[in-house]
Structure 1
Amino acid sequence: MPPSLTESSAGHAQWVEDRHVAVTAPQGPLALVLTHWSPAGAPPVDEAAARAGHPADAVLTRLQRADIDSGVTQEGYRIWRRDSPANEAFEKIETYEYDPDWVINGRFELVDEQRVVPFEHLRDEGATRALPVSGDLIFEVQGREFRLAAFDTVYGGTAKLQLVFGDTTNGAESYGAGRFLFLDRPAPDRPLVAGESIGIQVDFNRAIVPPCGFSNQMNCPLPPAQNRLPFPVRAGEKRVRFAGDFHP
């Protein structure tokens, strides 16, 4: 039996609270004050140099990526601080009221493992990074079918499907660069082959502001053309509210 509206609303309220805890955590997006990338092929910056000018309780993490031009590995690091300007100015995440109409039953269709989609990223000045798409989310809104590309990721320590999407609320009501939605990848009773599909629930009430809405040191993928919905999705998170005129 599906949960009642009261149960769903209560679950949504808990999710909103959990999101507040997550974004204000020691390594939540509000705490990120620096992302640094070394030139392609260069060694990592040593810890003392990376920490220079930051308090002793700042958190240092390492990361890698392929250089967008050469494909050669780039070494990077991030600095996270509880006393970041964003953390100190943060007030809340503005969120739409829970709406059961935005819990949509659709299907996840596996695609060929070689399929990639070019995603433009916020800090790449118009260049694109090709991300492998694991499948399409297919659902209907007002009798019209939509097919949006999703890819595999890890979110909260768990393997998920990630949808990067846009809609007509972006910039007016919700975060201008689009929003993210993380979904449990459905488990079929046998391996699927490309073109086969399995049912999936797409709950837009769990749409979130991307990390780049909290820190300008995040480099988020932007919705590709096929993931831009031509109608308003008034569900999930809208945008981040900061005190005064602060802007990340």
Structure 2
Amino acid sequence: MDAERAADREAWNQWIEARRRAVAGPVGNLALVAFQPVGVDPVDLPGFPAQARREAEEAGVRVRPTGAGLELATVAADVWEPVDEERFVARLGVDGLPLLRAGGRTADVFSLDGSDYEIRLYDAASPALAAFAGISAYEYDPDWRVSARLEAYEEHARVPWEFTRSTDTGHTKVVPGVIRAEIAGRGYELTAFADGGQLVLVFADETSGRESYAPGRFLRFDPPAADFSGSGEVVLDFNRAFIPPCGFSDFYSCPIPPAQNRIAAPVRAGERRVLWNDRPAASAIP
């Protein structure tokens, strides 16, 4: 048991370091500096020699160069090809592709639920990256590995959600069932949504705003089945609770914890707060 716990702690330490590297990467949370909604009419992309528009029913956008230097990566993040005519750019996948770049700036195509689209713009010289000093976290505690159960619905539900960007409220998330868990001696029926082959729990607790990120935190975990079919046991390892993207950049829109995901106990596990040398002001690409 001691060896198993030591291995779990080491895996957690590696996760902590990987998180810090990821948020500070060239398309990490700290690098997001603007977003541009895309509709049927062409729009300029701030800081990019390009325009974008949408075609009805397409799961992505059309991008047309308006100057030199625009490149597209579709097969690997280090394999770029020049864009010299209008190209279809698909919605960002779980592999982190496709990506656009021009100079030191990068972009991806994002949609909350496929009903509308935006292009998100990243700058490797963002003010937030310059001000970032790390992420504080609670000490690893194996007692915060909570066994729970997914009770699957007969059909997956599309649940309207509230977001930090008020104009996004009402977009839906796919919820395959209810998560039944006992946390700090109290039973809960939690709502988690499907995302990239995992489930995501958006939760708040008695540390929220006092000791940890105020709106709440996220927790990813594996479903009983890869296709989200059927009921089964799951593990909620709150040691891997993390600060959502909107804690690093004001240009993200993050889901807010629903009432049933507000835990009436302090969850002293996982990430706590973003640490800044100087809190950066919100700014977009000029």
Instruction: Bin the TM-score by the shorter chain.
Output: 0.7 to 0.9
Instruction: Give 1:48's aligned residue.
Output: 49
Within 5 Å, which residues of 2 pair with 1:37-76? 37-38=37-38, 40-43=39-42, 45=44, 48-49=49-50, 56-64=103-111, 73-76=115-118
Unaligned ranges ≥5, structure 1? none
Superposition misfits of 4+ residues, deviation over 6 angstroms: none
Q: Structure 1: how far apart are the matches of 2:125 and 2:237?
A: 34
With over 3 angstroms needed to count, the CA separation of the structure-2 counterparts of 1:124 and 1:205, relative to structure 1, is: same
Contact 1:42 1:74 in 2 (8 A): no
Q: Structure 1: how far apart are the matches of 2:205 and 2:13?
A: 23
Q: Structure 1: how far apart are the matches of 2:229 and 2:50?
A: 48
Deviation per residue, 1:215-235 (Å, 9 max, x gap): 111000000111111111110
Q: Which amino acid aligns with 1:221?
A: P
Matched, 1:35 2:35: yes
Q: Structure 2: how far apart are the matches of 1:200 and 1:2?
A: 23
TM-score normalised to structure 1 length: 0.83
Q: Structure 2: how far apart are the matches of 1:119 and 1:80?
A: 26
Matched, 1:220 2:221: no
Q: CA deviation at 1:160?
A: 0.7
Q: CA deviation at 1:126?
A: 8.3
Instruction: Give 2:186's aligned residue.
Output: 144
Would you say how many aligned residue pairs link Structure 1 and Structure 2? 232
Q: Which amino acid aligns with 1:240?
A: V
Contact 1:107 1:199 in 2 (8 A): yes
Q: Structure 2: how far apart are the matches of 1:105 and 1:127?
A: 31
Q: Which amino acid aligns with 2:273?
A: R
Q: Which amino acid aligns with 2:241?
A: A
Q: Which moved more, 1:56-65 or 1:231-240?
A: 56-65
Q: Structure 2: how far apart are the matches of 1:27 and 1:144?
A: 39
TM-score normalised to structure 2 length: 0.73
3-state DSSP of counterpart to 1:182:
strand
| Aligned partner of 2:170 among 125, 128, 138 | 128
3-state DSSP of counterpart to 2:201:
strand
Instruction: Give 1:207's aligned residue.
Output: 241
Contact 1:165 1:179 in 2 (8 A): yes
3-state DSSP of counterpart to 1:115:
strand
Contact 1:44 1:76 in 2 (8 A): no
